[in-house]
Structures are given as structure tokens and as C-alpha cells.
């Protein structure tokens, strides 16, 4: 029997031969998230993208042209609603891209949780920059790379089937990075540590995200329903700023987009060919004050 009680715990070193448990690349949870996105084929994600081959899996912002609902021809009405929703989603992507800049064609950007790839294409079209998109869904990465090839930008825009918490990309190689509606799938401290590692000093980080409102209290029923619908875990607003502060990300611009987010949902609710069933929940969550749509831009210091 050993007598180790006199030894400080700090001086105990592990036995070099102690076998360590294998660390899986993805947690079981992340595998389930990947399963979701590998099988996801919602018309709202595919029909909108087909219009101009910019595939977005986020919501939209700004005033909606509701006159599209008055179109008497049923087929044309569907088409006009689809186009209007796509315009609102595109406006959101453009708003985010605006906050990434200025950037030049030699710069490199990191699109964390890139979906079917629209955001990286938007950044490339605007700035001519290189982009690396990362998604936990192999199918999405494949789809997005095919789109980049079709556009002839595959030398500048590449998508990778990787975990955004551990990308393996080069430290300090990125001038800007972002999460567009993908922060609710991960622990913020791990996520921001990876962004801080990848961004060069003075680099820009931007997120657009739904968060629950600390001033309301804890997660409301609606917030919990959204979590269940997407298999995610919406963070409170406060957690974004705490986790950024802990990871050398200093907010420079914060915008509450909640009021701007509503018209998209109000129009989408009328689109029988596109609804997924979560529309009312989003509207109630925004209206009862428990849920907010936020843009945060931060500098890597
Ligand atoms: N940003 C995209 C897609 C948002 S949907 C857009 O605006 O269109 C959420 C995305 O997060 C999906 O592509 C999903 O695969 C990705 N995701 C979730 N957890 C991830 C993880 N740990 N690593 C990489 N991607 C992840």
C-alpha cells in the first residue's frame, strides 16, 4: 500500500503507460446533428436556392413585399412567395457580409457551419476573397463543392466536412470568420476559441443568431420547442458576450434584428408549399420577448 497523503495533488504525474480512452472526432450529439442535415431536404432550403444557386439555411430580415400574396394565379403565387422569401434570406447574408469587410482578394475567410454553402459564395462575390466553409454534414460539403465547381470558383471557395470546433486549419490564417445561425449547435467557449485561433490579430468575427433573452428569464416554452425541432441548444444573450470576452473577441457592433426578423416568418407562414411547422413558434417567441435575433460583430484582439 502506498502512502501518498503527503504528496500535493499538483505533483502527481500520470503514469506514461496509462491507456487513454480513444477520443471520437464527433460526439454522439454531433453525429445526430449531422444525420439531421444529411437527410434534410426541406423545400424552403432547396426551392429558394434554386432561383440563383445561392443556398441559404437561415431566415430572412427586413420588410416583406406582401403583395405577392395577392397574385391570383396559384402557380405564379407560389413562385412569387418563394422569390420574396429568398430575397429576405439573401438580405440577411448580405448584411452579415457587409460586416466582414473591408477584405481583399488575397484575404481568406472561414464560414463556420456553412450549410449548403451560400454564405461563402456571397463573401467571395463581394470581396473576391478565398473562403473555407465547414459543415458537420458530409452531404452538405459535397453539395456546396459541386456548386463552387459549377460557378468556376472552386480555386477560391472550398467546403470541408469537419467539426467547426476543431478545423485543423492554419492558425492566424483568416482575416474574417462567421457563424450564420450555427452557434446553437456548439459550446460557445469551444467555438470562440477556434475562431480566435484562426483569426489574425485585428480580424473580424460576425454572427447572426437567435438567442434567448436574459431579461425575460430562462428559456421559454417556444425556445424549448425550437431546440427540439432543430436538435439544438439556443444560448442566452449574455453567454455570447461572456464567451467572446474570454476568447479575445471584442464586440464592435451589436444589432437587435428581432423586429426585422418577423416579416419573414409572417410571410413564410402563408407559404403552404414551404412551411415546416415551426413558423408560429418563432413568431410567438419573438413577440413574447423571450427570443431575440442578434447580429454581433467583434474584433479579434
Ligand atoms: N450558415 C449556413 C447554414 C446554417 S444551418 C447558412 O447560413 O446557410 C446550421 C449548420 O451548422 C449546418 O450546416 C450544420 O451542419 C452545421 N453544424 C452544426 N454543428 C456543427 C459542427 N459542430 N461543426 C460544423 N458544422 C456544424
Taking only the tens of pLDDT, the chain with its 301 residues reads: 444 444 444 545 555 565 555 555 689 999 999 999 999 988 888 989 999 999 999 999 999 999 999 999 999 999 999 999 999 999 999 999 999 999 999 999 999 999 999 999 999 999 999 999 999 999 999 999 999 999 999 999 999 999 999 999 999 999 999 999 999 999 999 999 999 999 999 999 999 999 999 999 999 999 999 999 999 999 999 999 999 999 999 999 999 999 999 999 999 999 999 999 999 999 999 999 999 999 999 999 9
pTM to 2 decimals? 0.91
Mutate to test the pocket of ligand 1, among 113, 145, 159, 165 (most ligand atoms within 8 A of CB): 113
CATH of residue 216's domain is 3.40.50.150
β-pair partners for 155: none
Q: Number of structural domains, the chain?
A: 1
- What is the distance in A from the centroid of ligand 1 to the CA of 260? 23
Please tell me the predicted confidence (pLDDT) of residue 16. 56
Q: Are 87 and 54 in contact, with CB atoms under 8 Å apart?
A: no
The residue segments making up the domain with residue 294 are 33-300
Residue 217 forms part of a structural domain = yes
Query: What's residue 17's pLDDT?
Result: 62
Ligand 1 nearest-atom number relative to CA 186: 22
Q: Is the CB of 119 under 6 A from ligand 1?
A: yes
Is the CB of 195 inside a 6 Å radius of any atom of ligand 1?
Answer: no
What separation in Å is there between the alpha carbon of 145 and the centre of ligand 1? 15
CA–CA distance, 55 with 47 (Å, rounded to integer): 9
pLDDT, residue 8, reads 47
In the reported structure, the alpha carbon of residue 186 is separated from the centroid of ligand 1 by a whole-number distance in angstroms of 10
Q: To test ligand 1's pocket by mutation, which of 36, 162, 182, 190 has the most ligand atoms within 8 angstroms of CB?
A: 182
Cβ of 57 below 6 Å from ligand 1 = yes
Asked if residue 30 has its Cβ within 6 Å of ligand 1, the reply is yes
The whole-number pLDDT of residue 290 equals: 98
Position 45 scores a pLDDT of 85
Of 286, 273, 270, 274, nearest to 234 (Cα)?
A: 286
pLDDT at 20: 57
Q: Which atom of ligand 1 is nearest to the CA of 57?
A: 8
Determine if ligand 1 sits within 6 Å of the CB of residue 160. no
Which burial class, exposed, middle or buried, applies to 186 when counting CB atoms under 10 A from its CB (0-12, 13-18, 19+)?
A: buried
Of 40, 160, 56, 60, which is closest to residue 112 (Cα–Cα)? 160
In a domain, 223, yes or no: yes
What pLDDT is attached to residue 210? 98
Which residues on neighbouring strands pair with residue 199, listed in sequence order? Answer: 174
Task: Report the separation in Å between the CA atom of 78 and the middle of ligand 1, taken as the mean of its atom positions.
Answer: 28
Please tell me the residue having the least CA distance from ligand 1 atom 19: 185
Q: Does 118 contact ligand 1 (Cβ within 6 A)?
A: yes
Q: Where are the beta strands (DSSP E) in 49-173?
A: 108-112, 130-135, 157-161
Q: Give phi and psi for 86, each to the nearest 5.
A: -65, -40
Residue 210, ligand 1, Cβ within 6 A: no
Using CA atoms, how far apart are residues 277 and 261, in angstroms rounded to an integer? 17
Amino acid at each position: 500500500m502506498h502512502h501518498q497523503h503527503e504528496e500535493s495533488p499538483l505533483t502527481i504525474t500520470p503514469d506514461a503507460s496509462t491507456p487513454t480512452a480513444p477520443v471520437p472526432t464527433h460526439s454522439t450529439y454531433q453525429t445526430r446533428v449531422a444525420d439531421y442535415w444529411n437527410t434534410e431536404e426541406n423545400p424552403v432550403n432547396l426551392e429558394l436556392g434554386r432561383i440563383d444557386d445561392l443556398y441559404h439555411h437561415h431566415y430572412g430580415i427586413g420588410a416583406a413585399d406582401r403583395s405577392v400574396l395577392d397574385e391570383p394565379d396559384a402557380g405564379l403565387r407560389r413562385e412569387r412567395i418563394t422569390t420574396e422569401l429568398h430575397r429576405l434570406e439573401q438580405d440577411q447574408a448580405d448584411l452579415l457580409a457587409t460586416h466582414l469587410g473591408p477584405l481583399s482578394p488575397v484575404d481568406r475567410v472561414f464560414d463556420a457551419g456553412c450549410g449548403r454553402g451560400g454564405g461563402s459564395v456571397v463573401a467571395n462575390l463581394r470581396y473576391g476573397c478565398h473562403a473555407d466553409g465547414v459543415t458537420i454534414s458530409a452531404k452538405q460539403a459535397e453539395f456546396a463543392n459541386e456548386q463552387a465547381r459549377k460557378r468556376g470558383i472552386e480555386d477560391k471557395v472550398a467546403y470541408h466536412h469537419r467539426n467547426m470546433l476543431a478545423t485543423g486549419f492554419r492558425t492566424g490564417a483568416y482575416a474574417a470568420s462567421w457563424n450564420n445561425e450555427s452557434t446553437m449547435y456548439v459550446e460557445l467557449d469551444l467555438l470562440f476559441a477556434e475562431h480566435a485561433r484562426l483569426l489574425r490579430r485585428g480580424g473580424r468575427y460576425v454572427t447572426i443568431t437567435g438567442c434567448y433573452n436574459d431579461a425575460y428569464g430562462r428559456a421559454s416554452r417556444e425556445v424549448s420547442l425550437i431546440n427540439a425541432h432543430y436538435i439544438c441548444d439556443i444560448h442566452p444573450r449574455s453567454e455570447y458576450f461572456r464567451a467572446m470576452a474570454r476568447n479575445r473577441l471584442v464586440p464592435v457592433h451589436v444589432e437587435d434584428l428581432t423586429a426585422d426578423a418577423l416579416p419573414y416568418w409572417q410571410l413564410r407562414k402563408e407559404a403552404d408549399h414551404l412551411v415546416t411547422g415551426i413558423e408560429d413558434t418563432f413568431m410567438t417567441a419573438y413577440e413574447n420577448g423571450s427570443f431575440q435575433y442578434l447580429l454581433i460583430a467583434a474584433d479579434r484582439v
